Amino acid sequence: MNQGFDIQEILHLLPHRYPFVLVDRVLSMEPGESIRALKNVTINEPFFQGHFPNRPIMPGVLILEAMVQAAGLLLARPMSPEDRSRLCFTGIDGVRFQKPVVPGDQLIFEVAIVKQRSRVVKMSATAFVDNQRVAEAKIMALTGGEI
């Protein structure tokens, strides 16, 4: 398993910027196979102001977005900048949320490539807090080439 990388490499690989960078660090990656990444969830997140004022819960759609960003890092790292700009997520299936994510939690994302045929990649993604699954999804992407 390859070593992980920090926020500087994440910002180099992803087009996202504040407040939409939802991966803080890559813990480990096996190029072309899998990635483990993390997100520290703090009360300072801008979405907690309205979701919800008296009981802050991370929106499920943002947990899903963070899993997609981890998948994007897995696919983008070996690509040229030109091919990275053509990376396109095409589908998400089987999304399930098992437990709320709250300030103070540390989300760990595990994404693995399940199948790759030509430019189409299918991945499984799971999010954990304290070794308990909090969300899962199947993610599809189209890599490189013309869109």
12 included as an active-site residue: no
Q: If you ran DSSP here, which 8-state letter would residue 84 be given?
A: H
The runs of H, that is alpha helices, within the chain are: 7-13, 60-76, 81-84
Judged on CB neighbours under 10 Å (0-12, 13-18, 19+), 104 is exposed
Q: Find the catalytic residue in 16, 51, 119, 122.
A: 51
Q: Which of 59, 74, 75, 146 is nearest to 109 (CA)?
A: 74
CA 123 to chain centre: 11
Could you give the C-alpha distances from 70 to 51, 52, 66, 119, 133, in angstroms and in order?
23, 26, 6, 18, 16
Active site residues: 51
